[in-house]
């Protein structure tokens, strides 16, 4: 009896094992995906503190013993780099910050009687790890200076302020909202081409080609549907961000609509390329999820690309979502128009991705294959 049960168990176990691991999606989601998740998070968040660095600008309202001493101590901190070796006017330093040439501006005390060290950072990045690290280091410097008795009279204090390249009301919520809008539109474009795999598999495309229907109009109809879906996503997310979380937007309509149109077409092209190499829905979702996952954490959706380790930044600078997120933020948050070098860089990279992926997809997609 026991031997019979054991034999049945072995056969059933063997059947379950074969059914589970015959499906390639199991290998991806159960084995490869967790390994990828672990690797990406360790590379981004688990790097040693030695890899952190920040670029500062110094402002010295008046030359005095305290400002000179603090300036010397700041330059001895290894993780700090300086955009200029000498102190610069406040207006110039703040413009560097708005242009993202520096991570923070440090304004040295005017005198021993006015012992105030000011730290100015970008408002949209105030919750980022780099901003918190800069603030923590300067707090430690202030505490150390007070313990050493540098301040004769009033104790040295640190005051932190935030400025924005756009509206002064902008906050990290606006940075995150626009990043998620870019991510949702990108995913709609990539995952929206799954119907090409299914229609090819069941033979619908083959039959459609044999009818008088124009394939160009078929493709145009699909693109218009994706524009409508992306528009709904943007409106819904914007309303939630504004009404529920108090987000502030400063929209330049022309720039925003242009980057929206180009970005939607570009990510639809990426989806078409994925469809060309996919023989099943499972393989399509596997490749699309892999590409989407990598971009999600490296393209500046949740935190600025400058906070990434140096060895990951080159990858971030070639991914299309990096430029789409920057373009969406420039058009929705900063209110930048089309007369801007960054705008055309974002457009150019997205167009390049769109054209290349469409050409690759057109070459390898088998329109008449029915499997």
Domain assignments of the chain as residue spans, ordered by start: 50-163, 172-364
Cβ neighbors of 5 (< 8 A, separation 6 or more) are none
CATH of domain 50-163: 3.40.1710.10
Q: How confident is the model at residue 163 (pLDDT cuts 50, 70, 90)?
A: confident
Contact 117, 137 (CB under 8 A): no
What are 310-347's pLDDT values in tens digits?
Answer: 778 888 899 999 999 999 988 888 777 788 788 899 99
Distant-in-sequence, close-in-space partners of 285: CB < 8 Å, separation ≥ 6? 25, 191, 194
Q: CA-to-CA distance for 175 and 186, rounded, in angstroms?
A: 17
Are 359 and 337 a contacting pair, CB within 8 Å?
no
Does residue 271 surpass a pLDDT of 70? yes
- Residue 71 confidence (pLDDT) above 80: yes
Question: For residues 19, 21, 26 and 28, what is the CA-based torsion angle, rounded to 10 degrees?
Answer: -160
Instruction: Determine the average pLDDT of the residues in 45-67.
Output: 73
Q: Kindly report the backbone phi and psi dihedral angles of residue 80, in degrees, each rounded to the nearest multiple of 5, phi listed first.
A: -95, 130
Distance CA 243, CA 238 (A): 8
Nearest to 90 by CA among 109, 112, 107: 107
What's the pTM value of the predicted model, to 2 decimals?
0.67
Q: What is the pLDDT of residue 368?
A: 58
Mean pLDDT confidence for 157-181: 76
Instruction: Say which residue, 355 or 129, is predicted with more confidence.
Output: 355
């Amino acid at each position: 009896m026991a031997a019979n049960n054991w034999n049945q168990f072995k056969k059933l176990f063997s059947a379950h094992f074969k059914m589970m691991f015959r499906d390639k999606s199991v290998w991806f989601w159960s084995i490869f995906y967790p390994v990828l998740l672990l690797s990406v998070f360790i590379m981004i968040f688990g790097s040693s503190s030695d890899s952190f660095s920040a670029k500062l600008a110094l402002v010295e309202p008046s030359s005095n013993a305290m400002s000179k001493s603090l300036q010397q101590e700041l330059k001895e901190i290894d993780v700090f780099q300086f955009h200029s070796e000498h102190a610069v006017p406040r207006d110039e330093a703040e413009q560097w910050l708005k242009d993202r040439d520096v991570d923070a501006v440090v304004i040295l005390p005017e005198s021993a009687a006015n012992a105030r060290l000011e730290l100015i950072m970008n408002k949209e990045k105030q919750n980022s790890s780099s901003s918190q690290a800069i603030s923590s280091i300067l707090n430690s410097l202030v505490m150390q200076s007070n313990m050493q008795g540098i301040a004769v009279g009033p104790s040295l204090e640190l005051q932190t302020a935030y400025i924005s390249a756009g509206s002064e009301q902008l906050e990290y919520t606006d940075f995150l909202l626009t990043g998620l809008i870019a991510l949702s539109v990108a995913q709609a474009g990539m995952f929206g081409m799954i119907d090409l795999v299914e229609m090819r598999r069941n033979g619908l495309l083959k039959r459609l080609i044999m009818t008088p229907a124009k394939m160009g109009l078929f493709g145009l109809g699909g693109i218009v549907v994706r524009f409508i879906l992306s528009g709904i996503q943007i409106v819904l997310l914007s309303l939630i961000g504004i009404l529920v979380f108090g987000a502030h937007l400063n929209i330049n309509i022309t720039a925003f609509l242009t980057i929206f149109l180009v970005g939607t077409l570009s990510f639809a092209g990426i989806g078409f390329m994925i469809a060309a190499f996919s023989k099943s829905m499972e393989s399509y979702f596997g490749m699309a999820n892999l590409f989407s996952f990598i971009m999600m954490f490296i393209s500046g959706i949740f935190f600025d690309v400058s906070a990434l380790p140096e060895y990951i930044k080159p990858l971030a600078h070639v991914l299309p979502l990096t430029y789409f997120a920057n373009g969406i933020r420039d058009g929705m948050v900063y209110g930048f128009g089309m007369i801007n070098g960054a705008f055309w860089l974002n457009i150019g990279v997205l167009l390049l991705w769109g054209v290349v992926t469409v050409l690759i997809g057109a070459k390898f997609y088998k329109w008449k294959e029915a499997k």
